Amino acid sequence: MTNKSNIYIIDDDLAMRASLKSLLSVKGYNVHTYPSAQNFLETVHSHDKGCVITDLKMPEMTGIDLLNAIKGQKIQLPVIVMTAFADVSIAVEALKKGAVDFIEKPFSTETLCKCVEEALARNGEEDEHVQQKQRIEQRMKSLTAREHDVLNILMKGKSNKTIAYELGIGIRTVETHRANLMEKMQAGSLSELLRMSLMVNGFEKNG
């Protein structure tokens, strides 16, 4: 198997780091290990790709602290947390903080690899989402100031008549701006246009 995806392992236990590196390297992954969350954050970049596997209970900076830092630094890497059975409640908290999965110690190679593969697949979906958002942002840049005005009022669910009144222009002019919006944004329907606008403003889940 040839797999060049990067796996970032964070654990203060040297033996665990070595074991995980051995298991995943055999599967063809590029494995990077770190003795602490701080050490990882000092070297990672927001554009790095791959998957993070981190222990939850670590001195100084815990797995929960790491998840908060990853979110704060806008790092796009999916995170899998490792936990002992007694710490499942903490693992649930980790999921709420953005972890994509957790695995209980001790775990099998098969369980580990399945979690990694699923996390990397999700990472690919996020990449496509980011690319889609970038394409929409480029289309947004082609809009005139007046077209932006029309779109902003459309987002409030206003009619053409109301838009015309608020902007002090004729209804026919509003219709022309709407047609231009649809063409420039490559939207097949009003709902699609609104979803695009929500996506670039970071509220896609509400669409």
Does one domain contain both 117 and 155? no
- Supply the DSSP string of 50-115, one letter for each residue: SEEEEES--SSS-HHHHHHHHHHTT----EEEEE-GGGHHHHHHHHHTT-SEEEESS--HHHHHHH
135 within some domain:
no
pTM of the model: 0.63
Residue 101 is assigned to a structural domain of this protein? yes
Residue 64 lies in a domain: yes
Same-domain pairing of 146 and 77:
no
**pLDDT exceeds 90 at position 96:** no
pLDDT at 124: 63
- Residue 11 sits in the same domain as residue 109: yes
- Answer for the pair 63, 36: CB distance below 8 angstroms, yes or no: no
Can you give the CATH number for the domain in which 94 is found? 3.40.50.2300
Once rounded to an integer, what is the mean pLDDT over residues 166-182?
Answer: 95
What φ, ψ does residue 102 adopt, rounded to 5°?
A: -140, 150
Whether 6 shows a pLDDT value over 90: the answer reads: yes
- The structural domain count of the chain equals 2
| Residues 90, 115, 20, 78, CA torsion sign | negative
Average pLDDT score, the chain? 87
Over residues 153-160, the mean pLDDT reads 87
Q: State mean pLDDT over 149-166.
A: 91
Domain end among 73, 93, 126 = 126
Question: In this structure, is residue 113 part of a structural domain?
Answer: yes
pLDDT band at 3 (very low <50, low <70, confident <90, very high): low
| Cβ–Cβ under 8 Å, residues 158 and 168 | no
Q: Do 86 and 170 share a domain, yes or no?
A: no
Does residue 159 sit in the same domain as residue 122? no
The answer to the question of residue 1 being in a domain is no
The set of residues, in sequence order, having a beta carbon less than 8 Å from that of 180 and lying 6+ positions away, is 144, 147
CATH at 150:
1.10.10.10
Question: Is residue 15 helix, strand or coil?
Answer: helix
Q: Is 54 inside a domain boundary?
A: yes
Asked if pLDDT for residue 204 goes beyond 60, the answer is: no
Do 105 and 149 belong together in one domain?
no
- Rounded CA separation 48/202 (Å): 21
**Does one domain contain both 112 and 193?**
no
**pLDDT band for position 70 (cuts 50, 70, 90):** very high
Domain that holds residue 22: 6-126
Alpha carbon 134 to its chain's center:
14
Q: Do 22 and 100 sit in the same domain of this protein?
A: yes
122, 154: one domain: no
CA distance 58 to 30: 23
**37 pLDDT tier (thresholds 50, 70, 90):** very high
